[in-house]
Amino acid sequence: MIRGKSDSNTPYVKLDKENCKLTIMGKSYPEDASLFYTPLVEEIETCKNDLSKSKIIIKIALEIMNSVSAKYIFHVIKNIYKSAKETEINWYYEADDDCMLEEGGYFKESFPNSDFKLIEVSDLRSI
């Protein structure tokens, strides 16, 4: 299991391998996205063989993310999507946040064989 505590620039990240769940929540615009996301990318690489037997659920609820974070998150989802037996992606966005809705739509188009849900909420902190 990987946990990355959130702060003002980085999201909360939890990879729960036992229950096949990945959660990324908060704000994602770290000074060094590579330093923040590389451990997660590496951890997913180590469990790729196990993913082929499982359905994994990815929960993404971001208030904001920069382009570098988007690239890392895309890379993480892509590795899971290519390896997992099934992928469910729940992309949460606030009702008035057209940018995160648009970003979620782009991700959804990129992973057409996943069960990808764009989920509108009034406040991401309530998830």
DSSP string across 9-60: SS-EEEEETTTTEEEEEEEE--TTHHHHHHHHHHHHHHTHHHHTT-EEEEEE
Q: What is the pTM of this model?
A: 0.92
Asked if CATH classification 3.30.750 holds for the domain at 2-126, the reply, yes or no, is: yes
Q: Report which DSSP code applies to 6.
A: -
Give the pLDDT confidence of 67-107 residue by residue, as tens digits.
Answer: 999 999 999 999 999 999 999 999 999 999 999 999 999 99
Q: Where are the domains of the chain?
A: 2-126
Whether 56 contacts 115, CB under 8 Å: no
Give tens-digit pLDDT for 4-62: 566 789 999 999 988 999 999 999 999 999 999 999 999 998 888 888 888 999 999 99
Residue 81, pLDDT score: 95
pLDDT score of 104: 98
